[in-house]
Amino acid sequence: MSEKKQLLALEGVFHIPDDPSQPPHLVGSRCRACGYTAFPKRAICPSCLGRDTMEETALSRRGVIETFTVSNVAPPGFKAPYLQAYIRLPEGPRVFSVLDAQEGDVDMGSEVEMVIDKLAEDEQGNDLIGYKFRPVPRG
């Protein structure tokens, strides 16, 4: 009998608080010297090349779709067609992400929010857990 596991698709790029009432967030780094914010986090500032100036920072859960594409070919474990997008966060970084939406639900400039969810299944049937974005519910 095989037991289904939940595996993190990526380590260290998001944080899930122990308190379930607190929402998860992406983890980036912000430069103390010039204010540049990077995602994923960096050891050296890509803007001013400062060393030891980057500190971990929680990124906003909401951003705006800068551009997106429909993938008609899916990697193993994903179902095609699915959407992928570049999402601009208010702090500056551009995040590449799966978009949990149908074509027609979203457009460039649409506001989206980050959720931690199942992204795919591996060959053993385990859930791969990671971040993705979905349209912000209206209302």
Tell me which residue of 2, 31, 129 sits closest to 41, measured CA to CA: 31
Q: In the complex, what is the shortest distance from the CB of residue 29 to Zn ion, in angstroms, rounded to a whole number?
A: 10
Taking CB under 5 A as the criterion, the residue among 36, 39, 68, 131 binding Zn ion is 36
Tell me which stretch binds Zn ion (CB under 5 A): 33-41, 71-79, 116-124, 126-134.
33-41
**Contact status: 38 vs Zn ion (CB under 5 A):** no
Residue 86 near residue 108, CB atoms below 8 Å: no
Tell me which stretch binds Zn ion (CB under 5 A): 3-11, 28-36, 92-100, 129-137.
28-36
**Contact status: 126 vs Zn ion (CB under 5 A):** no
Q: In the complex, what is the shortest distance from the CB of residue 43 to Zn ion, in angstroms, rounded to a whole number?
A: 12
**Contact status: 77 vs Zn ion (CB under 5 A):** no
**Contact status: 128 vs Zn ion (CB under 5 A):** no
Residue 129 near residue 101, CB atoms below 8 Å: no
Q: Is the peptide bond before 40 cis (omega within 30 degrees of 0)?
A: yes
> What's the angle, vertex CA 78, arms to CA 85 and CA 67, rounded to 5?
10
> What's the angle, vertex CA 36, arms to CA 31 and CA 38, rounded to 5?
90
**Contact status: 54 vs Zn ion (CB under 5 A):** no
Task: Point out which residues pair with 25 in neighbouring strands.
Answer: 15
Task: Give residues in contact with Zn ion (CB under 5 A).
Answer: 31, 33-34, 36, 45, 47-48, 50
